[in-house]
Chain A
Amino acid sequence: MGNKQQAGTAKKVGIPALFIILAILPPFFLSQYWLHVMIISLFYVMMASSWNLIAGFTGQVSFAHAAFSGIGAYASGMVAVNLGVPPWLGILIGTGVAALLGLGLGYLCIRMGGIYLSLTTLGFSEILRIIITNEDKWTRGTMGLQVPGFFSEYSKANYYYLFLVVTIFLLIVIYWIVHSEMGLTFRAVLNDELAASSSGINTIRVRILAFTISSAMAGLAGGLYGHYLMLITPDIPSLGQMFLVLAMAVIGGMGSFIGPIVGSFVLETLSEYIRIYGEYHVLLFGLVALAMARFAPEGLMGIVGKKWRKEWVH
């Protein structure tokens, strides 16, 4: 019994540690181009995993996740360009702005139910796009806002490690939330709202909290992304981007910790290969996501196998 538990703990610590060691290696053997693909994949891991925190674990479908990443990017970019605030501080400001707007939207919609949240977040994304495109005095519209990077000397390897560290940090926070008492209430709310609320859980407050945390994470990811690309465009908060994030979570496996991570790497890498043939990757991913949602709602992680999943998810 004790041995088994020890083996379990060793596995729980050992396997992630192995992955982290492996994750240090890419800059030593990948080309600049594939290192870029890895950095973008890490951005999508942050986005899909934090979206999964609300959608997969509390059943709230937000269509404003890309919008919040855009808010993080533009807030950080604009204070950097106009006030000379360093990006390190800027991304924290961006995260804060995304959290505040998330709290406001969540407070307004969540008490009315999931449908209202989805409708309003979709509207929010559209409106944000219109404002960013039209207020080109501040945002440079569709031309994009040029912003400074994090490092005085440009190095893809540095960006890779920066993204890696922040991604691991966010994943630890998400893992911790899901496995904490708060995560228990999340799942209680997802499984049976009535039972959860009658056993004394304030379901609305739990959902608003989850939505705020998730929006803040999107803001942080967006800020990093903007300063990495050094050009912030309305594509970051677009519904097309939102769709990619959603597809990564759905195809990888919603409601599982690993699913969105796998989905992000698989889809981002695939889209690099498909891009040669034109912009068909959106249509293809859409069809795959539809088939997955219809026939394999647990995604790739559900297909891979129950035993493996059991050890990792709960």
Chain B
Amino acid sequence: MNEFLMYLTNGIVIGVINAISAIGVSLIVGIMRVVNFAHGELYIFAGYFSYHLSASLGVPPLLAMPLSIFFIFLIGIGMERTLIRPTYGDEMYSLIITFVLSIVLQNAALLIFGPYPNKPPNLVSGATNIFGLYHYGNQRLLSFFISIGILLFIFYLIKRTWFGKSIRAVSQDREMSSLVGVDHLRVNMLSFGLGAALAGAAGVIVAPIFPVTPTGSSAISLNAFVVVVLGGMGSLKGCVIGGLALGIIENLGAAYLSTMYRNIFGFVILILVLVFRPWGLFGQKAQ
């Protein structure tokens, strides 16, 4: 029983991080109908940045994390300005460009960081007894609380601020929103940066728990895509519920069914969603 609770806790912790990563994809899909196939690579880069900043350059880990996320944000802005912006309205080219970019970044990561897994130092050590039932690593608990904090921040940003309002306006009706004075090019650029930053955030949070490798990126992208389709394209609530569901299913599945096929559970969910509820849990049926 305690074992089961521990796997469940793992699932919830990973689930919240899944949600952050998936919101990064979902924001960009919702606003500009662009799927960022380089999502996993940004995540990996963030993990390596935070490793090298803290382990090689001696930046305190707590500072290295936001700094890495900020670098990824800038990379995202750069990507949007140079490569994505000219493809607006041409879905096919944006898919091709982000896919090619993912391969380029993956090979660049191999060249720059090497093929070996790297892991930034833990922020905390030891374990805490949870309700007298089982011990759980402090680093994982801290990751969980940081993730919750980031999720709350995103919800605040999107539901309560002027920037969030313009994001929602552009995703609902691009022409109307520009009529009422929203600069949608700027909104696109900033939301692409934000989407990238969220990939980075998930990367720096996970890296101390599961070391990053350049070849691990496609599994990470896929994970986010499954959550986005499961939750419904463009739905924030869907990302949270979908992320938790995938995290729990993967962890229980890996523990009780098969470790090797951890990544298969996500694909099975994707196919089931496409068969029975292709618009996802919280998506709009009419597209």
Instruction: Using known A-B contacts A123-B225, A294-B83, determine if residue A108 contacts B100 with beta carbons closer than 8 Å.
Output: no
CA distance A120 to B37 in the complex (A): 12
In the bound complex, do residue B274 and residue A130 qualify as a contact, i.e. CB atoms below 8 Å apart? no
CA distance A108 to B82 in the complex (A): 34
The 8 closest A-B pairs by CB, nearest first: A286-B104, A283-B107, A61-B95, A243-B103, A127-B267, A108-B274, A119-B225, A134-B260
In the bound complex, do residue A112 and residue B287 qualify as a contact, i.e. CB atoms below 8 Å apart? yes
In the bound complex, do residue B274 and residue A115 qualify as a contact, i.e. CB atoms below 8 Å apart? no
Q: Which residues of A contact B82 (CB under 8 A)?
A: 294
Q: Which residues of A contact B225 (CB under 8 A)?
A: 119, 122-123
Nearest residue (CB) in A for B287 is A113
CA distance A307 to B133 in the complex (A): 77
In the bound complex, do residue B274 and residue A239 qualify as a contact, i.e. CB atoms below 8 Å apart? no
Q: Which residues of B contact A124 (CB under 8 A)?
A: 267
**Per-position 1/0 for A124-135, Cβ under 8 A of B:** 101100110010
CA distance A27 to B37 in the complex (A): 42
CB distance from B9 to the nearest CB of A (A): 26
In the bound complex, do residue A289 and residue B100 qualify as a contact, i.e. CB atoms below 8 Å apart? yes
In the bound complex, do residue B95 and residue A115 qualify as a contact, i.e. CB atoms below 8 Å apart? yes
Instruction: Using known A-B contacts A108-B275, A130-B264, determine if residue A115 contacts B96 with beta carbons closer than 8 Å.
Output: no
CB distance from A279 to the nearest CB of B (A): 8
Give the residues from 74 to 99 in chain B that come closer than 8 angstroms, CB to CB, to chain A. Answer: 82-83, 86, 91-93, 95-97, 99
Extra 14 A-B pairs, beta carbons < 8 Å, given A126-B218, A246-B96, A293-B96: A61-B99, A108-B275, A111-B278, A119-B229, A122-B37, A122-B99, A123-B225, A123-B267, A126-B267, A127-B263, A127-B264, A243-B99, A282-B107, A293-B93
Nearest residue (CB) in B for A59 is B92
In the bound complex, do residue A122 and residue B274 qualify as a contact, i.e. CB atoms below 8 Å apart? no
CA distance A262 to B276 in the complex (A): 43
**Per-position 1/0 for A220-260, Cβ under 8 A of B:** 00000000000000000001100100110010000000000
**Per-position 1/0 for B218-243, Cβ under 8 A of A:** 11011001100100010000000000
Q: Which of B29, B100, B111, B261 contacts A247 (CB 8 A)?
A: B100
> By DSSP majority rule, is chain B's interface helix, strand, loop, or mixed?
helix
Q: Which residues of A contact B92 (CB under 8 A)?
A: 55, 59-61, 114
CB distance from B245 to the nearest CB of A (A): 16
CB distance from A115 to the nearest CB of B (A): 6
The answer to whether B108 has its CB under 8 Å from any CB of chain A is: yes
- Residues in A lying within 8 Å of B, measured CB to CB: 55, 59-61, 63, 108-109, 111-116, 118-120, 122-124, 126-127, 130-131, 134, 239-240, 243, 246-247, 250, 282-283, 286-287, 289-290, 293-294, 297
Q: Which of B95, B222, B229, B274 contacts A126 (CB 8 A)?
A: B222
The answer to whether B101 has its CB under 8 Å from any CB of chain A is: yes
The answer to whether B69 has its CB under 8 Å from any CB of chain A is: no
The answer to whether B27 has its CB under 8 Å from any CB of chain A is: no
In the bound complex, do residue A283 and residue B104 qualify as a contact, i.e. CB atoms below 8 Å apart? yes
CA distance A114 to B92 in the complex (A): 8
Q: Which of A114, A287, A294 contacts B95 (CB 8 A)?
A: A114
Listed by A's residue number, 16 A-B pairs whose Cβ atoms lie within 8 Å are A60-B92, A63-B99, A114-B92, A115-B35, A116-B274, A119-B270, A123-B270, A126-B218, A126-B263, A243-B99, A246-B99, A283-B104, A283-B108, A290-B100, A293-B96, A294-B86
CA distance A118 to B107 in the complex (A): 21
In the bound complex, do residue A109 and residue B274 qualify as a contact, i.e. CB atoms below 8 Å apart? yes
Q: Which residues of A contact B104 (CB under 8 A)?
A: 283, 286-287, 290
The answer to whether B52 has its CB under 8 Å from any CB of chain A is: no
The answer to whether B33 has its CB under 8 Å from any CB of chain A is: yes
Q: Which residues of B contact A283 (CB under 8 A)?
A: 104, 107-108, 111
CB distance from B111 to the nearest CB of A (A): 7
CB distance from B283 to the nearest CB of A (A): 10
CB distance from A234 to the nearest CB of B (A): 13
Nearest residue (CB) in A for B263 is A130
Q: Which residues of B contact A294 (CB under 8 A)?
A: 82-83, 86, 97
